[in-house]
Amino acid sequence: MTRRTMAVAFGLGLGLLTLGAAGACRGGGSAAPDGALTVAMMPKNKGNPYFVSCRQGAEEAAQQLGVKLLWDGPTETDPAKQNDVVEAWITRGVQAIAVSVENREAMSTVLRKARGKGIKVVTWDADADPDARDAFVNQATPAGIADVLLGHAARLSGPAGGEIGIITGSLTAANQNTWIAEMRKLLPTKYPTLTIVDIRPSDDDRKKAFDETQTLLRVHPKVKVIMAIASPAVPGAAEAVKQSGRKDVGVTGLGLPNASKPYLLDGVLDSAVLWNTKDLGYLTVQVATALAKGTPIVGTTQFPGGRLGQLEVRGDNVILGTPFTFTKANVGGFDF
């Protein structure tokens, strides 16, 4: 057999093997009857556990409503790729597009184009320009999130206050940067005893969050609270504090209940702030489908969100609720 033939055979065999193995490990997607509406939904980053849990809710709603759900997006937080995916959906022709926007300006351009072609556009988790979408499914305002986080930090550091070390996602992450900016605004007025002593990036990698927290604890030995504001960072930071044996350091942050549960239960992690990400995904598909069917959002005050009941509508924002704090006491009741 010539080398060429071997190469081709090897390559193809390897390819089929990879796809077969990978396909076997995967769960199934949602099937929908032909002629059904297609809702295309995009997270910021498919690999992040936060978005993985949003997807579960989205699939649930798609099944309930009988719509076809396309779930795709960049595999890492690549600014350019989100645009390419939406362009493809416009070409393919879908009835509604729901995007968690990583790049506001870049996405707004292409979302306006989608609206121009009659596709309904919904943003969720992170917004685009108001004229680029029909509705925004808002889980909580950045100011609200910042306030809740600082509230926990204040409680953990006690009446004397103290130093906070923040572990963020990546340095370029828009949501995290917005929350940090909001926190800085609140500090002098509402939380004067707290200071942010350092902000370290985790690049959404648990190990990096662990390493940075370890170092932070040594560089700033007086730090009272570690605040991890990216969901892969919470278990990393908590593990680092646990291994250091520093019982005087409190840990809080934005995290998923399943990943946070072990640390909440053994007391290292005090609280994890979030919202029900499954519900967020669920509601987004509900809103997108309603819009695609012609039901308007603007002008109403309430939106029927399926199993979520009636939800408040403020202008063009559908509000999921307020940030929720997972604690040792309540985390057992959640599974995502």
Partner 1 sequence: MTRARLATPELVLLVLLVGELVWFSLAATNFLTLDNGLEIVRASAEVGLLALALTPVILTGGIDLSCGALLGLSAVVFGAIWRDAGQPIAVAAAAALGVGLLGGAVNAWMVAGFGRPALIVTLGTASLFRGLAEGLTGGAVNYSGFPASFLHLGQGRVLGLPTQAWVLIAAAALIAVLVHAATIGRALRAIGYAPEGARFAGIPVGRRLALVYLLSGGAAGVAGLVYAARLGQARADAGTGFELSAITAVVLGGTSIFGGRGSVWGTMLGLVALGVLANGLRLADQPAELAGVLTGILLVVAIGVGARRGRA
Partner 2 sequence: MNRPLWVALAWAALLALVAVVAPAFFDPVNLRDLIVRASPLLIVACGMTIVILARQIDISVGSQFAICGVVAGLLAREGLPMPLVAAGTMLAGAALGAINGVLVARLGLPAIVVTLATLVAWREGLRFATEGVWVQDLPATFQWFGLGQDIGRWLIGIGAAAVWASIAFVLGWTPAGRAVYATGSDAEVARLLGVRPPLVIAGSFIVMGALTGLAALLSAVQFIDVQANAGIGLELSVIAAVVVGGTSVSGGRGSLTGTLAGVALLATVGPALTFLGAPAAWERALQGAIILIAVSAEGFSRVRRVKEQHA
d(CA 241, CA 214): 7
Q: Which CB sits closer to partner 2, 21 or 298?
A: 21
Q: Which CB sits closer to partner 2, 225 or 237?
A: 237
Q: Which CB sits closer to partner 1, 199 or 318?
A: 199
Asked if 49 and 256 touch (Cβ cutoff 8 Å), the reply is yes
Query: Out of partner 1, partner 2, none, which partner does residue 56 contact, by CB within 5 to 8 A per kind?
Result: none
Among residues 12, 66, 75, 247, which is the contact residue for partner 2, using CB under 8 A? 75
**DSSP assigned state of 301:** S
Query: Out of partner 1, partner 2, none, which partner does residue 258 contact, by CB within 5 to 8 A per kind?
Result: partner 2
Q: Which CB sits closer to partner 2, 147 or 198?
A: 198
Token pair in block for residue 13: 């065999």
Smallest gap, in angstroms, from Cβ of residue 129 to partner 2? 27
Asked if 232 and 206 touch (Cβ cutoff 8 Å), the reply is yes
Amino acid residing at 200: R
Number of other residues whose CB lies within 10 A of the CB of residue 333:
8
Smallest gap, in angstroms, from Cβ of residue 271 to partner 1? 26
Q: Which of residues 121-180 bind partner 2 (CB under 8 A)?
A: 171
Smallest gap, in angstroms, from Cβ of residue 316 to partner 1? 22
Nearest to 214 by CA among 167, 248, 252: 167
Q: Which residues contact 231 (CB under 8 A, 6 or more apart)?
A: 48, 49, 50, 254, 255, 256, 259, 274
Binding site for partner 1 (CB under 8 A): 3-4, 6-8, 10-12, 14-15, 18-19, 22, 46, 70-81, 83-85, 87-89, 91-93, 103-106, 108-109, 170-172, 174, 177, 201
Q: Which of residues 12-41 bind partner 2 (CB under 8 A)?
A: 14, 18-19, 21-23, 25-27
On the CB side of 7, CA atoms within 13 Å amount to 3
Query: Out of partner 1, partner 2, none, which partner does residue 294 contact, by CB within 5 to 8 A per kind?
Result: none
Query: Out of partner 2, partner 1, none, which partner does residue 92 contact, by CB within 5 to 8 A per kind?
Result: partner 1
Number of other residues whose CB lies within 10 A of the CB of residue 290:
21
Token pair in block for residue 320: 């999921």
Q: Which CB sits closer to partner 2, 3 or 117?
A: 3
d(CA 82, CA 46): 11
Stretch that binds partner 2, among 30-38, 151-159, 256-264, 305-313 (CB under 8 A): 256-264
